[in-house]
């Protein structure tokens, strides 16, 4: 077999990387990114060291002459399948356009105000808190630059990731099953309330789902086809996933653990293990390269974030909230219960046929949930959204398997059993489709509606105050002129100086836990005038008025 020649492109890139690492100083790097000298601490030094490492790796790769590894050609997609996927993709985009320009919710406001509206250089060197989803911030910045500042342009990258996730889901689905089951899962994803919700969410979660599905498919490919190109694709997927959201750490950790267990049971091929170890190590160093300039700030501020004791750290709360969300997205409790049965049966069938795939679908979420619980971090259902694609594939497998098992006991012919599986899958897809209008009925959080209501109510000597997390939404974006009360004492001072004081807050769980004095004042001194609902669980925006001024106003009238 002929050997591949040296790769001059790798050699050239490696030489350039080494030259930059050696000749560009830390201060010059900071100046290039518009930062003051020494403002990035030791980040530039780490960046240069990693750049030198990767330059050396490129040089070595360029000079090495390797025999190609080939596990056989990949299966090509039939034209009929491509046409069906393209049709589902168009439908998915169309379904994600209505209400795309509605009011931003809190985390989207922070993305807009703190990152997307700034410069690309600032985004690349800034990690002040865990709301920074760096790759998404960069893509959102580009979208705002091209299309102007609006809610829909901020959310556009997520819509595109949502459309792309159908293709990633299909590739994974056909890897562990067949084209028909993969297409059914894609159809279910297309009309999924939750997928639409997150496709219209200007955060990194949809991108995380996309890269999780893509990386899992490529990882399963490496087990069958030990090919450097497949490993390279896997590394790229994981690194980009890390760049958009750190939760993909649990995905790659599960992959590494399962790969090692498979290696132990399959003859212990040391060459294969070394290639896998190199790929996993490269995932780490390349990710660190992308974050190097912002790592000091993250360790100083972002890593020190703590979650106050509240319902959000209670596992029972996340279970209840997840069930509530599922009932919204799948047209009722009965369908959710049926889905639970299908998921159980589907996962067991996948486990029987492909244990690696089965465990790769459940371990990341289990590891992530256990880690968040151990750290006392808020347990929000959206942290598990990256596993949605796995759940859909498992549910469709269950929908196909359960009728086959039940009807097989009474000796029904296989074609009829298959037809029953298709019918059950279709009913599941229809049940999900009926919930799609709910995604458009309300904004995620109606900060703009509350602001318009308060502005209409204000008269001479009336004041307004915002507290808790609502303060970020209004002071940083929607109403910078509205004063923020950070304590009950400040709130009382505002009450004394106003004819009527309107108070705006949201997410009472957080307000009660983080600001108990303000929460007590809200309960005793204010009355709720109007509640503005949204699709974010518990994210209603409350407009209140202090009781004393309300009584005085009524008496005067």
Residue with tokens 């009925």: 441
C-alpha 414/C-alpha 419 separation (Å) is 9
Is the residue at 489 inside a domain? yes
Contact 176, 360 (CB under 8 A): no
Whether the predicted pLDDT of 380 surpasses 90: no
Say whether both 57 and 135 belong to one domain.
no
Say whether both 93 and 196 belong to one domain.
yes
Is the residue at 181 inside a domain? yes
Is the residue at 20 inside a domain? yes
Q: Write out the H or E segment, with its range, that includes residue 60.
A: helix 43-63
Whether the predicted pLDDT of 372 surpasses 70: yes
Say whether both 18 and 32 belong to one domain.
yes
> Which residues span the domain enclosing 250?
79-441
Say whether both 251 and 278 belong to one domain.
yes
- Of 194, 233, 204, which Cα lies nearest the Cα of 217? 233
C-alpha 101/C-alpha 26 separation (Å) is 42
How confident is the model over 492-513, as a mean pLDDT?
Answer: 92
Is the residue at 74 inside a domain? no
Whether the predicted pLDDT of 132 surpasses 80: yes
Is the residue at 1 inside a domain? no
Say whether both 487 and 511 belong to one domain.
yes
How confident is the model over 50-76, as a mean pLDDT?
Answer: 78
- Please give the angle made by the CA atoms of 336, 339 and 340, to the nearest 5 degrees: 90
C-alpha 214/C-alpha 237 separation (Å) is 7
Q: What is the pLDDT of residues 184-238, one digit of tens each?
A: 999 999 999 999 999 999 999 999 999 999 999 999 998 887 788 899 999 999 9
Whether the predicted pLDDT of 72 surpasses 70: no
Say whether both 480 and 524 belong to one domain.
yes
- Of 131, 111, 122, 141, which Cα lies nearest the Cα of 39? 122
Greater pLDDT, 202 or 317 = 202
Question: What mean pLDDT value characterizes the chain?
Answer: 89
Confidence at residue 383, expressed as pLDDT on a 0 to 100 scale:
87
Say whether both 490 and 514 belong to one domain.
yes
- Collapsing DSSP states into helix, strand and coil, what is residue 540? coil
How confident is the model over 96-108, as a mean pLDDT?
Answer: 96
Say whether both 267 and 335 belong to one domain.
yes
Is the residue at 99 inside a domain? yes
Say whether both 145 and 247 belong to one domain.
yes
From 393, 412, 441, the end of a domain falls on 441
How confident is the model over 303-308, as a mean pLDDT?
Answer: 64
CATH number at residue 485: 3.40.190
Number of domains observed in the structure of the chain: 3
450 band by pLDDT with thresholds 50, 70 and 90: very high
How confident is the model over 385-409, as a mean pLDDT?
Answer: 90
Whether the predicted pLDDT of 83 surpasses 50: yes
Whether the predicted pLDDT of 70 surpasses 70: no
Say whether both 159 and 134 belong to one domain.
yes
From 381, 415, 441, the end of a domain falls on 441
Tell me the sheet residues that pair with 500: 462
DSSP alpha helices (H): ranges in 444-515? 447-457, 470-473, 488-496, 508-514
From 441, 464, 480, the end of a domain falls on 441
Say whether both 119 and 244 belong to one domain.
yes
Say whether both 54 and 121 belong to one domain.
no
C-alpha 26/C-alpha 291 separation (Å) is 15
Report which DSSP code applies to 299.
I
Is the residue at 72 inside a domain? no
Greater pLDDT, 161 or 341 = 161
- Here the tokens at position 549 are 């001024």
Q: What is the pLDDT of residues 506-537, one digit of tens each?
A: 999 989 988 999 999 999 999 999 999 999 98
Whether the predicted pLDDT of 328 surpasses 60: yes
Is the residue at 217 inside a domain? yes
Whether the predicted pLDDT of 388 surpasses 90: yes
- Please give the angle made by the CA atoms of 394, 536 and 546, to the nearest 5 degrees: 160
């Amino acid at each position: 077999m002929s050997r591949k020649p040296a790769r001059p492109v790798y050699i050239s890139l490696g030489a350039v990387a080494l030259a930059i690492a050696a000749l560009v100083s830390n201060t010059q790097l900071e100046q290039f990114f518009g930062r003051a000298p020494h403002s990035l601490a030791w980040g530039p030094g780490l960046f240069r060291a990693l750049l030198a490492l990767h330059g050396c790796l490129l040089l070595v790769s360029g000079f090495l002459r390797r025999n190609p590894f080939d596990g056989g050609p990949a299966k090509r997609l039939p034209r009929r399948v491509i046409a069906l996927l393209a049709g589902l993709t168009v439908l998915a985009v169309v379904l994600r356009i209505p209400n795309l320009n509605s009011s931003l919710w809190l985390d989207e406001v922070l993305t807009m105000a703190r990152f997307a509206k700034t410069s690309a250089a600032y985004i690349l060197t800034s990690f002040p808190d865990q709301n920074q989803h760096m790759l998404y911030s960069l893509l959102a910045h580009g979208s705002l630059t091209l299309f102007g500042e609006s809610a829909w342009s901020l959310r556009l990258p997520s819509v595109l990731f949502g459309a792309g996730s159908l293709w990633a889901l299909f590739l994974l689905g056909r890897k562990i099953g067949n084209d028909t089951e993969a297409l059914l899962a894609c159809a279910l994803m297309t009309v999924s309330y939750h997928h639409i919700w997150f496709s219209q969410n200007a955060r990194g979660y949809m991108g995380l789902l996309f890269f999780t599905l893509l990386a899992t498919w490529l990882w399963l490919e490496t087990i069958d086809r030990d090919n450097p190109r497949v490993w390279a694709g896997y590394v790229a997927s994981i690194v980009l996933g890390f760049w958009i959201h750190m939760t993909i750490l649990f995905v790659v950790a599960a992959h590494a653990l399962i790969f090692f267990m498979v290696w132990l049971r399959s003859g212990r091929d040391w060459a294969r293990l070394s290639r896998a170890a190199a790929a996993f190590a490269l995932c780490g160093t390349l990710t660190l390269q992308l974050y190097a300039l912002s790592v000091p700030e993250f360790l100083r501020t972002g890593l020190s974030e703590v979650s106050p004791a509240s319902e959000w750290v209670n596992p029972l709360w996340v279970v209840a909230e997840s069930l509530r969300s599922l009932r919204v997205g799948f047209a009722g409790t009965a369908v959710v219960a049926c889905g639970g049965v299908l998921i159980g049966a589907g996962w067991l069938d996948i486990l029987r046929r492909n244990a690696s795939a089965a465990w790769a679908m459940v371990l990341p979420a289990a590891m992530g949930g256990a880690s968040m619980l151990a750290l006392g971090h808020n347990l929000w259902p959206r942290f598990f959204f990256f596993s949605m694609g796995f759940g859909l594939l498992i549910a469709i497998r269950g929908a196909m398997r359960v009728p086959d098992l039940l009807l097989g006991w009474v000796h029904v012919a296989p074609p009829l059993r298959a037809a029953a599986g298709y019918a059950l899958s279709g009913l599941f897809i229809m049940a999900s489709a009926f919930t799609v209008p709910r995604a458009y009925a309300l904004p995620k959080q109606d900060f703009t509606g509350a602001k318009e209501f308060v502005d209409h109510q204000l008269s001479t000597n009336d004041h307004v105050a915002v507290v808790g997390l609502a303060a970020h939404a209004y002071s940083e974006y929607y109403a910078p002129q509205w004063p923020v009360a950070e304590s009950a004492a400040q709130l009382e001072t505002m009450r004394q100086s106003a004819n009527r004081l309107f108070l705006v807050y949201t997410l009472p769980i957080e307000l009660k836990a983080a600001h108990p004095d303000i929460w007590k004042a809200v309960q005793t001194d204010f009355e709720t005038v109007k509640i503005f609902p949204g699709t974010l669980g518990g994210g209603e925006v409350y407009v209140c008025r202090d009781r004393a001024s309300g009584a005085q106003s009524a008496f005067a009238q």
